[in-house]
Structure 1
Amino acid sequence: MNIHSITIEVAHANDVHAAESFYRDALRLADRVAVRVATRPSSGFRGFAPSLILEQPGDVDAAFARALSAGARALKPAAKSLWGYGGSLLAPDGTAWQIASANKTATGEATGKVERVVLLLGVDDFKASKSFYQEHGLTVAKSFGTKYAEFDTGAIQLALYKRAALAKQVGMDATGTGSHRLAVGADGAFIDPDGYAWVVDDTALTADTTR
């Protein structure tokens, strides 16, 4: 099963244009991220964090600069780490994003090339969620015990992480209630054990789940 896009919900109709502009111009993901108006309330950490993986550290810095200029707020400024170079930010619509490069130092000129987008879903019962997705035909591409699992899902890769650990990773309090304000546009439709909604197209409603 492939993920073709994600749809992020915003609080009000007058927020749609600004959010579309943010994902089109700041993150340059208009082909993979859609926006619509929320039908259910949400507060705090929404449980997920898409990751934008770029080619060079300079690309990360450029994307951060565009995002901050467009109204995002830095959660963790970009810095070197064991796994590369990157940080996290809160988009104007309230979605936590990670922006990173596997390269700690530049290996070439910054190109703006998006290497991949990974949709990190925070889950309460890692083992149960991993089994659920395997039962729905998703193939595990990477797995690190009961902490992280990544699936081969095409244009946008799915990864599972424990909810509290994901919140800590992006620099947010794990507390949150209401809708995830996320719909995963894929080849099939279902609701997973944590209330994340998968839809065949982006017109279906997201789940209302208390977290």
Structure 2
Amino acid sequence: MTTIDSLILDVPDAAAAEAFYTAAFTQSGLNGRLRVRQAAPGDGAASTATSGFRGYTLSITVFQPATVHAFIDAAVAAGATVLKPVSKSLWGVGGSIQAPDGAIWKVATTAKKNTDPGDRRIDKIVLLIGADDVAASKAFYGQQGLPVGKSFGKYVEFAMPESPVKLGLYSRKALAKDAGVAPEGSGSHRLAIMGDAGAFTDPDGFAWEASVTASA
């Protein structure tokens, strides 16, 4: 079954990005599932033009509201911009920020109350792709060996029980609204998906690369 081993963010300053993510989410919390890389000027996605919404968000699911606040507060202190302040909703508690490198992160929990004052664990990391045509992207990923777990309206969640990073699809406009940004944007996604499905590019321009484990 297809899995995502890790995600790579192409950034203009790898050292600064490493420092930010260590301060915001801690390396132990992300368990090595996020990496950053820097290309030489004029070479690669890190220096390719990009503007506006990059067409994806990274979501972190945590145990309780206090953890949401802790991670969002740490990210802001490290230089992130708040897109949606932490707030309560029918489904739980969450907020979203934009990292200095431009990546958008959402931190959320379905819990309404705190039960462990010392909890800082990350339960799940999810890559949500803002698809221009959800049905077409859903069919494409089905051909790559990703069975659908949940599907309703313009949202698809793939069944990847063994995958360290989960994958979902949402309409681009709806995903941008959920993140708190305008849907317009163009250029490089500045994101590479490392998995065992081989190297390919999906209908929305997201590039998959063979993970070290898969190619070993």
After TM superposition, the score normalised by the length of structure 2 is 0.88
Aligned positions of 1:43-122 closer than 5 A: 43-122=51-130
Structure 1 gap segments, 5+ residues each: 203-211
Q: Secondary structure at the match of 1:138?
A: coil
Distance in structure 2 (CA, Å) of the matches to 1:49 and 1:190:
20
Shift of 1:109: 3.0
Distance in structure 1 (CA, Å) of the matches to 2:205 and 2:69:
34
Q: Paired residue for 1:21, among 19, 22, 31?
A: 19
Structure 2 gap segments, 5+ residues each: 39-45
Query: In structure 2, what is the equivalent of residue 191 of structure 1?
Result: 201
Distance in structure 2 (CA, Å) of the matches to 1:152 and 1:192:
18
Shift of 1:39: 3.7
- 1:23 is matched by which residue type in structure 2? Y
- 1:58 is matched by which residue type in structure 2? A
8 A Cα contact 1:122 1:162, kept in partner: yes
Query: In structure 2, what is the equivalent of residue 205 of structure 1?
Result: none
Distance in structure 1 (CA, Å) of the matches to 2:164 and 2:88:
26
Query: In structure 1, what is the equivalent of residue 183 of structure 2?
Result: 174
Query: In structure 1, what is the equivalent of residue 41 of structure 2?
Result: none
Distance in structure 1 (CA, Å) of the matches to 2:108 and 2:70:
11
Structure 1 stretch displaced more, 147-156 or 45-54: 147-156
- 1:176 is matched by which residue type in structure 2? G
Structure 1 stretch displaced more, 27-36 or 90-99: 27-36
Shift of 1:23: 1.7
- 1:191 is matched by which residue type in structure 2? T
Confirm whether residue 138 of structure 1 aligns to residue 146 of structure 2: yes
8 A Cα contact 2:199 2:210, kept in partner: yes
Q: Secondary structure at the match of 2:176?
A: helix
Shift of 1:107: 3.4
Distance in structure 1 (CA, Å) of the matches to 2:68 and 2:210:
31
Shift of 1:75: 0.3
- C-alpha distance 110-147 of structure 1, shift in aligned 2 (>3 A): farther
RMSD over aligned CA atoms reads: 1.3
1:18-46 alpha-carbon deviations (Å, 9 max, x no partner): 11122223112261111112041111110
Shift of 1:114: 0.7
After the TM superposition, which segments of 4 or more aligned residues of structure 1 sit over 4 Å from their partners? none
8 A Cα contact 1:20 1:30, kept in partner: no
Structure 1 stretch displaced more, 83-92 or 106-115: 106-115
| Identity over aligned pairs, percent | 48
After TM superposition, the score normalised by the length of structure 1 is 0.90
Shift of 1:7: 0.5
Query: In structure 2, what is the equivalent of residue 206 of structure 1?
Result: none
Distance in structure 1 (CA, Å) of the matches to 2:60 and 2:193:
16
Shift of 1:110: 4.1
